[in-house]
Amino acid sequence: MANNSHSAETAATAAGRAGKIRVGVIGGGQLARMMIPPATHLGLEISVLAEAPGMSAARAADAVGDCRDAATVMQFAETVDVITFDHEHVPQEVLAQLLATGVQVHPQPHSLQYAQDKILMRQKLSEIGVPVPTWATVQNPAELDAFLAQVGGKAVVKTARGGYDGKGVRVVTAAAEAADWFAALEADPVSDALLAEELVPFERELSQLVARRPSGEVALWPVVETVQQDGVCAEVIAPAPAVATTAAKLQEAAAAIGRQIATGLEVTGVMAVEMFETLDGRLLVNELAMRPHNSGHFSIEGSITSQFEQHLRAVTDLPLGSTAMTRPAAVMINVLGGPAEGPMPVRYNRALAAHPAAKFHSYGKDSRPGRKVGHVTVIGDDTAQVLQAARAAAAEMENG
């Protein structure tokens, strides 16, 4: 149970009295689901506030309710020692009420706001000197046209809030192509502008996963290459193979950015820093996710400490584990709902038989075309071989 009168204490010290630490995760998707095994290993209790019954993390879902409803979240918080998240959708008003009760919240709302609002994030990163694409806020079509003229006629326009998997991101050559979003701003109680950015001609996309605990300790995994298809992360290659610079230089630059953001924004827990590597080898930060992230799923088998275990350690202010890789290469491939029918164990039968070295993860979701229903990871010595094996296993899992 929460002991709200000891707000200054970490969850770990509170547990010294209560005997157990209970982590409460808001959101019942696959990220919460994948926190359950390491919670068990670490001896932590875990509870989930799920949006609906039968979600991915249903086995730990002690509560079902709307995370935007303060009363629901407050009631859930009463039952746990520390609150963390499977997503970034809990409104700041609800988070402020949570903090006022004295419950531990990680990441803290003042950090989380930068993952909730792309304009705030761009402002903050620019302020602390992190390299980002050229950007501007645009409140009306005239401002967007002016920006387009400035960046050569093509720009990326984004809604500040609520986007995911590329929804809320549009490449435009004229302001009229974002007319519906400008119209929607009129009725939006929170956002009064869109984010406009240069269309970065990037070589590839990278993600630097970082964990930070409240006491300040930081741990960084090897920077990974992420491959998107239709705005959705499809493949992750760890570590990112060297292209424009040496692997060591790339890692050094990515880690410096990850550390700077984690420290500068006082992030607690795991954060993914999504970046573009430009054609001339520069890194520009695109997006922040303050929670375990798709680009870190490889770490379950590929690292000594997975992002899910590390997140639990970080939010309970326990010492962080080693982020070294278990093998020289790891590849994670997302499995989307496909044409195959029937229950998962039956559908996966052939894939499991054909690929005994691959690790299959099912999220316990109903299969719908395009929906992330699981992933496959293969680890080994050689990136090209591991990539080929992971692709074959994922295709078989997807197609049944």
Whether residue 199 is annotated as binding a ligand: the answer is yes
Asked if 137 interacts with ligand ADP (CB under 6 A), we say no
Q: Which of 51, 117, 205, 398 binds ligand ADP (CB under 6 A)?
A: 205
Asked if 228 interacts with ligand ADP (CB under 6 A), we say yes
**Dihedral, CA atoms, 217, 18, 95, 25, nearest 10 degrees?**
80
Residue 339: what residue type?
A: P
Q: Which is nearer to ligand ADP, 165 or 217 (CB)?
A: 165
Q: Which of 121, 160, 169, 194 binds ligand ADP (CB under 6 A)?
A: 169
Q: Which of 54, 153, 216, 231 binds ligand ADP (CB under 6 A)?
A: 231
Asked if 225 interacts with ligand ADP (CB under 6 A), we say no
Structural tokens at position 1: 């149970």
Q: Which is nearer to ligand ADP, 157 or 390 (CB)?
A: 157
Structural tokens at position 284: 């520009």
Part in contact with ligand ADP (CB under 6 A); list of ranges 28-36, 146-154, 197-205, 377-385: 197-205
Q: Which of 30, 47, 286, 303 binds ligand ADP (CB under 6 A)?
A: 286
In whole angstroms, the minimum distance from the beta carbon of 78 to ligand ADP comes to 32
In whole angstroms, the minimum distance from the beta carbon of 133 to ligand ADP comes to 4
Asked if 16 interacts with ligand ADP (CB under 6 A), we say no
Q: Which is nearer to ligand ADP, 74 or 232 (CB)?
A: 232
Report CA 211 to chain centroid distance, whole Å. 12
Distances (CA, A) of 226 to 31, 229, 304, 343: 18, 10, 21, 29
Whether residue 341 is annotated as binding a ligand: the answer is no
Do 115 and 88 meet the contact criterion of CB atoms below 8 Å apart? yes
Strand partners of residue 380: 329
Q: How far apart are the first and last CA of the chain?
A: 44
Alpha helical stretches, state H, the chain:
11-18, 30-42, 70-77, 92-100, 109-116, 118-127, 141-150, 179-187, 247-264, 299-302, 307-315, 344-347, 349-354, 383-399
Asked if 235 interacts with ligand ADP (CB under 6 A), we say no
d(CA 310, CA 303): 11
> For the residues of 118-143, what is the DSSP string, one character each?
HHHHHHHHHHTT-----EEEESSHHH
Q: Which is nearer to ligand ADP, 295 or 362 (CB)?
A: 295
d(CA 321, CA 309): 8
- Among left, alpha and beta (phi > 0; psi -120 to 50; other), residue 388 is alpha
Do 46 and 60 meet the contact criterion of CB atoms below 8 Å apart? yes
Asked if 168 interacts with ligand ADP (CB under 6 A), we say yes
Whether residue 266 is annotated as binding a ligand: the answer is no
Q: Which is nearer to ligand ADP, 47 or 208 (CB)?
A: 208
Tell me what percent of the chain is helix, strand and coil, each rounded to the nearest 5.
35, 30, 35
Q: Which of 27, 28, 133, 296 binds ligand ADP (CB under 6 A)?
A: 133
Do 157 and 196 meet the contact criterion of CB atoms below 8 Å apart? yes
Whether residue 197 is annotated as binding a ligand: the answer is yes
Part in contact with ligand ADP (CB under 6 A); list of ranges 162-170, 173-181, 184-192, 298-306: 162-170
Q: Which of 66, 26, 93 is nearest to 269 (CA)?
A: 26
Part in contact with ligand ADP (CB under 6 A); list of ranges 155-163, 305-313, 336-344, 386-394: 155-163
Q: Which of 31, 48, 95, 156 binds ligand ADP (CB under 6 A)?
A: 156
Size of interface with ligand ADP, in residues (CB under 6 A):
19
In whole angstroms, the minimum distance from the beta carbon of 152 to ligand ADP comes to 12
Coil, strand, or helix at residue 369? strand
Annotation: binding site: 118, 158, 197-200, 205, 286-287
Annotation: binding site for ATP: 118, 158, 197-200, 205, 286-287
Binding residues for ligand ADP, per CB under 6 A? 133, 156, 158, 163-169, 197, 199-200, 205, 228, 231, 274, 286-287
